[in-house]
Each structure stands twice: as structure tokens, then as C-alpha cells.
Amino acid sequence: MSKDLTCIVCPRGCRLHIDDDLNVTGNSCPRGAQYAKDELTNPKRMITSIVRVKNRENCMASVKTSVSIPKGKIFDILKEIEKVSVNAPTHIGDVVIKDVLGTGSDIIITKEIK
């Protein structure tokens, strides 16, 4: 099953075509080719979200998955993130969930809050 898709690896947004034999055209870089292959076999996404900072008023700290996670697990992982809160100060890279749902990805803080 060949497919036309828009590359999301960078803001350039190349229009990719991948055929049944996983040959990719339209890409401007190797990461685009890899993206198209992954998209056909095992689509993955980075997720970014927020967690509550308990000791600050109406304040959220941003988080992300440390590596891409399977697309199908996005909402399950968000449910895990929902369970977590933190206290300030927060630092970029602080791990709030280790190896979330066994995906190999940690949920890490992306924002410095004093």
C-alpha cells in the first residue's frame, strides 16, 4: 500500500511518497525517508503536555516524551500524565514519569519555573 504524506520531521513539510517496497521520494533529507518508512510500519509521535505545579497559583509546567512514542498510545500516555503533579522549582529534563507504559520514553519537564 503506497502512500502520499506530508513530512512532519521539520517545519519544511516535504510532500513524501512511499511505495510498497518502502522506496521514498520527495524527501529533502534522510530523516524524511525514515519518517515515511516509520509512518507506514510503526508511526510514532512526540507528545507535549502539561502538569500542574502545586505550589504555584494557576501554574502549569510543560512536559514532553523524551523520545517518540507509538501513535496509538498517545491518549493512554496522556492519562498517565494526568496523574502527575510537581512542585516548583522545576528544571528542564526533570523526569516526572520513568519509562511511561513501558514505551521506553520518559516524561520530562521542559520548562524552568522558579
Partner 1 sequence: MYDIVVIGAGVTGAFISRKLARFNLNVLLIDRENDVGNVTSNANSAIVHSGYDPVPGSLKAKFNVLGNKMFDQISDELDVHFYRIGSITVATSEAQLDMLKGLLERSHENGVEARILSKEELRDLEPNVSPNALGGLLAPTAGIVDPFNLVAHAVENAVDNGVVLHLDEEVIDIKDLKNHFVVKTNKASYESKVVINAAGLGCEKIARMVEDVDWHLTPRKGEYFVLDHYDLGLVNHVIFPLPSEKGKGVLVSLTSSNNYIVGPSSELVDDTEDFSTDGPTLGDVRRQATDLIPSIPFNQVIRVFSGIRPTTSRHDFIIESSKVNPNFINVAGIESPGLVSAPAIAEYVVDEIVSKLLNLEAKKSFNPCIKKYAKLNELDNKAREELIKENPEYGKIICSCEKVSLGEINDLFARSVPPHTVKAVKKRVRAGFGKCQGGFCSPYVTLIIAKHYGINPTEVKWDKDGSEILLEEVKHA
Partner 2 sequence: MLNKDLVIIGGGSAGMAAAIEAKKNGVDDILILEKDSVLGGILNQCIHNGFGLTEFKEELTGPEYLQRFVKQVEELGIEYRCDALVLDVTKDKVVTYSNAEDGVVSLQAKAIVFATGCYERGAGAIQIPGDRCAGIITAGTAQKYLNIHGFLAGKRIVILGSGDIGLIMARRMTLEGAKVLCVSEIMPYSNGLNRNIAQCLTDYDIPLYLSRSVSKVVGKHGRVEKVILSAVDDKMKFIPGTEMEFECDTLLLSIGLIPYVSLLDKIKAEMSSTRGAKVNDYFETSIPGVFACGNCLHVHDVVDFVTDEGRDAGKGAAKYIKGLVEKNTTILVKPGDGISYVIPQTITNKNADSITFKFRVRRPIQNVFVTFEDNGNEIAKFVRPVLIPSEMVMLKLNQAQLAKIESGEITVSIKERK
**Binding positions for partner 2, rule: CB under 8 A:** 5-13, 15, 45-50, 52, 58-60, 62, 64, 71, 74-75, 78, 92, 110-112
Kindly state the smallest distance separating residue 96's Cβ from partner 1, in Å: 11
Distance in angstroms (rounded) separating the CA atoms of residues 38 and 41: 5
- Number of helices (H) and strands (E), helices first, in the chain? 2, 10
Give yes or no for a contact between 74 and 90, defined as CB atoms under 8 angstroms apart.
Answer: no
Tell me the three state secondary structure of residue 59.
Answer: coil
List the one residue from 1, 83, 102, 114 that touches partner 1 (CB under 8 A). 83
Phi then psi for 112, rounded to 5 degrees?
A: -85, 120
Closest CA to 26 of 49, 1, 9: 9
Q: Which DSSP letter does residue 73 get?
A: G
State yes or no: residue 29 binds partner 1 (CB under 8 A): no
# residues contacting partner 1 (CB under 8 A): 10
Binder of residue 5, out of partner 1, partner 2, none (CB less than 5 to 8 A by kind) = partner 2
Q: What part of residues 51-80 is at the interface with partner 1 (CB under 8 A)? A: 51-52, 57-58, 60
Give the interface with partner 1 as residue ranges (CB under 8 A): 50-52, 57-58, 60, 82-85
